[in-house]
Structure 1
Amino acid sequence: MTARRWKERLKAEWLLLAFTLLTLVLGWVDPQPAASWQRWLQAPTLAGLAGLMIAIQGIRDSALVQHAAAALAARTHSLRTLGLLLVASAALLSMILTNDVSLFVLVPLTVAIGGLSNLPVLRMVVLEALAVNAGSTLSPIGNPQNLLLWQHGQLPFLSFAWALLPAAAVMFVLVAMLAWAWIPRERVTLAPDTLDHQPVAAGLAILSVAMLVAMVMSMEYGHAAYGAGLLLLVFALGSPRSLARVDWLLLLTFVAIFLGLGHLAELPQVQAGLDRLDLGSPLRLYLAGILASQVISNVPATVLLLERAHDPIALAVAVNVGGFGVAIGSLANLIALRLARQPHGLRELHRVSIPFLLVCAPLVYLAWRWLG
């Protein structure tokens, strides 16, 4: 590999390099036992991501996504209709399959549609990232922070969802308004010369879809490691080429993020600062959850504030709103950008998501306090 290609590769993996450096520096200035590193690693989450990545790569390699994209684009005449359909699907799927799984399903489909039509891919991926953050807010199983707070608060499933409904409704309305204004009103234009005429590899498609379902079920019942191990074995035997094409650097990036942010959140200075905060006020807790999410992502922020927050619903509202704003606010944002691999993706996300947070945060707070 030439020096230029190495430079381009390092530039593309800046997030991995930055969090690896953070992890190494924190490990040097604040040594911790192995048990702490194991806790920060979040092995079940990593196993779930690995399994999803393997299954989706198999679906991509089978050409099933490309054919589904062609069928959907051919049957939809308006870009706005097509875009709104994808955004609504992202929000609805995130309530059932979690925000990360929804993106693993929809972003490859969106990229494939963009490859054979005039659909603005990066614009759609940014909207889908916002949509899964909004949609998953409503469901106790929609994202990791909700699952943690639902179990911690010991609330009935429907009671938790009802309490989050005002916040989720405001978020989704704002996403829908943005999508309506931002998606072009043009007709869908297909480029026949870009259509992939490769036939669907039926065996690989069936295997991959079945493994995707198995992985989601294993995550749902707390057996993500076993599910990922099964997929590794099945694909090593049945489709080693797909296994080799998985974006393993994305998984390493999340390893570095989990270790670096987990350690940062448990620094004595950070803990001492939190001890001085009075989070009994709903507004103070709301602002703390949003700001912490912007710095260390919303799942670590939830863990950090959990024992200091007297109201799990208030914290849930805060950290879900905190998923907007900077990309690190929600790991779903990073997954969406990495799956899409579009030029200037991070800049485009921030151009939209930061103003979205500034508009969304006060409106959600007012709706939650008034209707909650």
Structure 2
Amino acid sequence: MINTLKRILTDKTFFITLILSILSLCFGQVKSTDIDFKTIMSLSSLLIIIAIYQDLGILKFIANYIVSKCHSTRLVFLVLLLCSFFGSMLFTNDVAILTLIPIFFNISKRIPFPKIFAISLLTIYANLGSSFTPFGNPQNIYIVSFYKLSVIDFLGMSIPFGLISLITLLFSVLFIKNKQ
């Protein structure tokens, strides 16, 4: 608990975000009623569950399993990107990102990856994957509801976009050095 508090107090990103949030609340047009506490509580719960999985060693186990089954760094990265892409189709982009980033960090302790590049691609492909299905992100749920689209109609429109995204995903793996 004390280590966690020390980490929070020394986190520069946290403090910058906190200061900007306070400034926007004080001087901006933002009202406290604009804050969606249900969403904040849902994401907080998700973060707590991920932290529990991390403490229990489940994420480390998954990371070790991925590394043990893949014979090269490029294949490990491909598996992570595919999990991000397809996982976000089923579980939303937030869940995919918040779950895979800790797994990535566990893997990166064993395999040197360019961290910013890898995290950026995991995030990009989670967002692209979530846009493929009607339930992958809230915007799609709204679109399906507002335009009264069936799942088949929505998928019919999103398949070309999804296939292009998948092709770029497969191509982006080539930028990772292929080591055994």
Normalising by structure 1, we get a TM-score of 0.43
Conservation of the 8 A alpha-carbon contact between 2:130 and 2:137? yes
Per-residue CA deviation, residues 194-245 of structure 1 (Å, 9 max, x unaligned), is xxxxxxxxxxxxxxxxxxxxxxxxxxxxxxxxxxxxxxxxxxxxxxxxxxxx
- The one-letter code sitting in structure 1 at the alignment partner of 2:15 is E
Runs (4+) of structure 1 exceeding 4 A deviation are: 5-8
Using structure 2 for the length normalisation, give the TM-score. 0.85
Alpha carbons 1:127, 1:179 under 8 Å: kept: no
Query: Which of 1 and 2 has higher RCO (CA within 8 Å, sep 6+)?
Result: 1
- Report the counterpart of residue 105 of structure 1 in structure 2: 99
Cα displacement (A) at 1:10: 4.2
How high is the sequence identity, in percent, across the aligned residues? 22
- Residue 54 of structure 2 corresponds to 60
Gaps of 5+ in 1: 188-372
Q: Which amino acid aligns with 1:56?
A: I
Q: Could you tell me which residue of structure 2 aligns to residue 216 of structure 1?
A: none
Question: What's the CA shift string for 1:85-134, capped at 9, x where partnerless?
Answer: 11011100100000001112211111101112234433321111011111
Q: Which amino acid aligns with 1:85?
A: V
Question: Which residue number in structure 2 is paired with residue 136 of structure 1?
Answer: 130
Q: State the shift of 1:164 in Å.
A: 1.9
Larger radius of gyration: 1
* Pairwise CA distance, 1:67: 2.2
Q: 1:15 aligns with which of 6, 14, 17?
A: 17
Residues 6/99 of structure 1: CA separation in 2 closer, same or farther (3 Å cut): closer
Determine the C-alpha separation between the residues in 2 that align with 1:10 and 1:82. Answer: 31
SS in 2 for 1:86: helix
Alignment of 1:159-170 (within 5 A): 159-170=153-164
**Aligned-residue offset at 1:20:** 2.9
Q: Distance in 1 between matches of 2:173 and 2:117?
A: 9
Conservation of the 8 A alpha-carbon contact between 2:132 and 2:162: yes
**Retained in 1: the 8 A contact 2:73–2:111?**
no
Which residue of the other structure, out of 120, 125, 130, is the alignment partner of 1:126?
Answer: 120
Structure 1 CA distance, aligned partners of 2:111 and 2:26? Answer: 45
Task: Give distance in 1, aligned partners of 2:137 and 2:55.
Answer: 28
Is 2:28 the partner of 1:26?
yes
Partner Cα distance (2:115, 2:75) in 1: 15
Give the unaligned 5+ runs of structure 2.
1-6
Tell me, in whole angstroms, the C-alpha distance in 2 between the residues paired with 1:44 and 1:169: 34
Give me the CA root mean square deviation.
2.3
